Structure 1
């Protein structure tokens, strides 16, 4: 067995497992660390007509806005909720639209455009540059990213496919929607022809995540990278190159290729390969996979959680009961906030901000433990008497779909959530807030249009990409970032908070990072495995091991000081290096062909029937079959033909045979040991004699016959002994 990781530790999973003739890809994540080095994009600003409408309505209700040669001046009351929005529109309109690079330009060079002029009129300047994919450069002196400098497409690091024969991959299994963003590259840009399996929620939430990804970081929904990047070239250069986002058409084609599965559903492929999905307890539809190839059982444990009182179905550890090898990925790093400890800090931070009439920005995806966090926040604000003062806003291109779809997946939820369906009641709180309590919770595709007119302060906004390089959070930071009464709260565990806020270092907004992590830690993984039979091999990311390595493996660096033992071997893996593990099984199942089976004629020996089998072994699609040998094969088999003996030695027949070849004065002794009496075994019998002057002894036991003699008389004793057995 060989395991290879195609993405660095800390990035979403993408591993390749080779077992015998099978090649299995475990997840297909997309590296996004390089996002932090990219300039900030003003995500989807509004056009001229919408801008004029908002400016005119703002003037009528909140004060006068005059435009002149030196820019716009505002006379707005501090308490008016339209104040910040008008300021945002004015500042955004003064951004000078810059030209976009050609689609095929992937170099690090940048095209510098002239800065915006101070004479630009706030109410009439064009914003077309904000919707065609232009990307502003680093932040200016006010801490707000501007569009003045560079235009580059967002580029992403694919898994290192260069060392993998993608056409030979038989199966891709997906553990959850966080680890499939690179799947369209695999299915639409390469020669991959295998099958893909994932649970129904993983497929749907994965599709939503892909759409959000393309909306935030793609250049156009109509243009296709296929026109620029050759499919074969992508495979050859994937290890070193960065590539632009795929398109909506690629997403649809990719999703159509995924086969949905259910928990505990058994999938049989290629004869000896069996796949079973078990609940991972991390998010809706998250799964761990039991991979069975012949007699080898491999447990793939990815993004799992044993956290109680969350909405996903509980962690199912039964896949570890018979697992001989465990591959553990996406473990919780040390120093992360546990959910129980971190959620209290989140609730306190949000309540303190709302109490001082500030707004809260929470950059995150509209999925996962956010649904549970919302319940905790809502309960805490209720206890503090702040519910009447707050509005929840979910801003994402897929917010509506994600919120509605999550509430119809009760069968994938924990038992306590499933019971709510029969009340009937929405199992998740946001469903109740959106349906019954109008006004307190709303969802929007973007910060344009209805968001500005519905806005009530103070407000808690969920959504956007946590990297803060694109999406609605960029716009909202532009609007609310200069007030210290507002707060931006980071809760996503995989994001680098310092790098995310680099372009906004001069903003006055209060920053808090409480990165909640519900994934299994090393210690929890050990505890889980201790409840079941210990596997022979356990593989973990190199970040979970000590730096000291020997023989290509590392000792596990957990607080329990678990190290490799005679029964369990701990090994580490890292990107670009293969880990080889020996298979424990010595035998394989072989099918008999119909032709060969017809020629088998069993012979009865007492209550048992036996038959010799000889044939030619063929292996195809990981399935072994024994067929009748060809003419040349029969010649080879005849060299190895020998008589097979069966039966129990008959002492009188043996003595008669020895007498026939001239043996006299035989001494027969029977053992009288207590061990034979206790176990019920047949006593051992020894026959001692001399033949041609050489001493010899024949020992008769229940399951074996032992001959002790000189080589000169062994051939003479052959025939008397063979006559005591049956042969076939």
Structure 2
């Protein structure tokens, strides 16, 4: 069994395992950190961005490079449509993939890069919320980039990386970066997804069974259990033991695996989600009291549901009930509506509200009372009429490279009364703000990541008791500034680690397989006792292997199913093999000597040794060597050898 790592981001994994001649991809996360190297895409032309000076590396005068790079306060950016770092496509041929298993909607952003234009013929499995909310994420991303197109595409800068300043010079293989897919490609990729439910067992070509179980991270998020007849592999990605709105993690199904693959741990191990949520509410209230507005760059689903609930409650308790909240996203309507019809994927507390009946999420109540107002875009009908300040605006994209958030940063950036609060952990907030410097508005970093931290992961691993553990290299090697006894790694056991581009041989070998025996064959067996508690029997039958299933069938069923046109019919296999018998056990030497005497060979002398004996037939000039594993007859007379062989076989039991 081998594992291939195709992603450089442990929080957005893309792994492939080869097992029983099948290739299974575990998640297809897309690293969007590359977008931070590009200038933002404003919805309306920005005089500030247009006036940024061009950058040319020292001692270089390349007209093809002219205009591709811009300098903003000492930081160099690429002036082009953003590009993304897709999973490696040189390690595994995507056309050979049999199955793709998606853990949650944050780990499927690279799906179109893998399934479209690559010859992919496999099947993609995901839960219904993962597919639908993932669709929201993907459609929003595509629309963000399509609504602010760039006239030119910059490519020449990739040929001069060694001459560029940090961080461009340290960019990870920018020649492999790709522009985002279009709407048509996205629709084709999503049409390949087959919906599965929790604890539903799916047969994979008869060789494996895969089953999603709740991971507790977000709506519809799954861990995957992959089993064969004698092996069990558990894949844990994007899991949480906290009590939030999703259904809690199912640990029982993951226990006692032969192999545990873990990924998608927290990106902010030093920040407690509850503390960060409290800080966010405090910073928002202080900014609003001072007359400023608050921008919260976010994704269209996930933690934003909890932010609506907690922030509205805090503002009510702070006497700021009149402050409006705006949720702006191309998929805002769908996201808010869909979250209220997912009872079976929610925690028991949220489920109980559905049957009262009440909406499981408070944002439905906030929308009804016009406290939370949602729009597709800032230029959507009614937005300019409803918009008033001070307010709280939730919009994308958290990278601040595209989407409506770019407009609000440009509009509010010069006013110190306003604030931007970063809650998504995917992007370093200082990097996100770099192209907007100098910035007067306040910036607060309150990352909320509910996935497992390292202490929780270590406890979970001890509870699950896997035979072997595999994890990304950053989870095994502590950061350089970490204390000697770091809590920022997986510890207390040997861990097999991997990184992008690695091919890792996993400590899981196939030793057994399951065989199904036809009732007729089973009824014909005559087991013989070899020793107390151990019986054996020979089988004369037909072994067939089809769709990775092994079956032992009676010979006559196979032989009678085929007729021959020729008059000369060959004997069936059953007739050929019917008379075959097998001898077993050690030779009883004394009984053998008595049998020889009965056949007229009376001069046998036995010389016993530590490993067996030698029987000497002096008159026939023959030696018979007997040991624990074999018997050898040494004679120049072929007729005598056959006679001695027959006498010897009469001394052995057979079946």
Q: What TM-score, normalized to structure 2?
A: 0.77
Q: After TM superposition, give the deviation of residue 346 of structure 1 in Å.
A: 1.1
Is residue 343 from structure 1 mapped to residue 277 from structure 2 by the alignment?
Answer: yes
Is residue 643 from structure 1 mapped to residue 577 from structure 2 by the alignment?
Answer: no
Q: After TM superposition, give the deviation of residue 343 of structure 1 in Å.
A: 1.2
Equivalent-residue separation in structure 2 for 1:20 and 1:108 (angstroms): 54
Map 1:41-440; keep pairs closer than 5 Å.
Answer: 41-43=41-43, 45=44, 112=67, 152-218=80-146, 240-308=175-243, 310-333=244-267, 335-388=269-322, 390-435=323-368, 437-438=369-370, 440=371
In structure 2, the residue matched to 1:520 is 452
In structure 1, the residue matched to 2:14 is 14
In structure 2, the residue matched to 1:468 is 400
For residues 506 and 656 of structure 1, do their structure 2 counterparts lie closer, same or farther at Cα, with a shift above 3 Å needed? closer
In structure 2, the residue matched to 1:64 is none
SS at match of 2:495: strand
CA contact (8 A) 2:299 2:397 kept: yes
Equivalent-residue separation in structure 2 for 1:560 and 1:35 (angstroms): 28
Equivalent-residue separation in structure 2 for 1:547 and 1:92 (angstroms): 42
In structure 2, the residue matched to 1:543 is 474
SS at match of 1:39: coil
In structure 1, the residue matched to 2:3 is 3
CA contact (8 A) 1:563 1:570 kept: no
Is residue 612 from structure 1 mapped to residue 539 from structure 2 by the alignment?
Answer: yes
In structure 1, the residue matched to 2:613 is 709
In structure 1, the residue matched to 2:498 is 573
In structure 2, the residue matched to 1:60 is none
Equivalent-residue separation in structure 2 for 1:556 and 1:26 (angstroms): 31
Q: After TM superposition, give the deviation of residue 480 of structure 1 in Å.
A: 1.6
Equivalent-residue separation in structure 2 for 1:556 and 1:577 (angstroms): 28
CA contact (8 A) 1:299 1:327 kept: yes
Q: After TM superposition, give the deviation of residue 615 of structure 1 in Å.
A: 5.5
CA contact (8 A) 1:336 1:517 kept: no
Structure 1, unmatched stretches of 5+, are: 46-90, 99-106, 113-134, 226-237, 549-554, 664-689, 698-706
For residues 318 and 696 of structure 1, do their structure 2 counterparts lie closer, same or farther at Cα, with a shift above 3 Å needed? same
CA contact (8 A) 2:256 2:467 kept: no
Q: After TM superposition, give the deviation of residue 184 of structure 1 in Å.
A: 1.5
In structure 2, the residue matched to 1:48 is none
Equivalent-residue separation in structure 1 for 2:148 and 2:288 (angstroms): 38
Equivalent-residue separation in structure 2 for 1:202 and 1:580 (angstroms): 30
Q: After TM superposition, give the deviation of residue 178 of structure 1 in Å.
A: 0.7
In structure 2, the residue matched to 1:35 is 35
SS at match of 2:90: helix
In structure 1, the residue matched to 2:385 is 453
- Deviation track 1:25-83 (CA, whole Å, cap 9, x = no partner) reads 1111222111111111112x4xxxxxxxxxxxxxxxxxxxxxxxxxxxxxxxxxxxxxx
- Deviation track 1:498-521 (CA, whole Å, cap 9, x = no partner) reads 110001121210000011111112
For residues 246 and 472 of structure 1, do their structure 2 counterparts lie closer, same or farther at Cα, with a shift above 3 Å needed? same
- Alignment: residue pair count: 573
For residues 351 and 109 of structure 1, do their structure 2 counterparts lie closer, same or farther at Cα, with a shift above 3 Å needed? farther
Equivalent-residue separation in structure 2 for 1:11 and 1:329 (angstroms): 7
Residue 462 of structure 2 is aligned with which of 516, 520, 530?
A: 530
Q: After TM superposition, give the deviation of residue 242 of structure 1 in Å.
A: 2.2
SS at match of 2:18: strand
CA contact (8 A) 2:606 2:613 kept: no
Equivalent-residue separation in structure 2 for 1:168 and 1:328 (angstroms): 24
Q: What TM-score, normalized to structure 1?
A: 0.70
For residues 313 and 138 of structure 1, do their structure 2 counterparts lie closer, same or farther at Cα, with a shift above 3 Å needed? farther
In structure 2, the residue matched to 1:727 is 654
Structure 2, unmatched stretches of 5+, are: 53-61, 154-172, 560-569, 616-623, 634-643
For residues 530 and 460 of structure 1, do their structure 2 counterparts lie closer, same or farther at Cα, with a shift above 3 Å needed? same
Q: After TM superposition, give the deviation of residue 15 of structure 1 in Å.
A: 1.1
Q: After TM superposition, give the deviation of residue 290 of structure 1 in Å.
A: 0.6
Is residue 694 from structure 1 mapped to residue 607 from structure 2 by the alignment?
Answer: yes
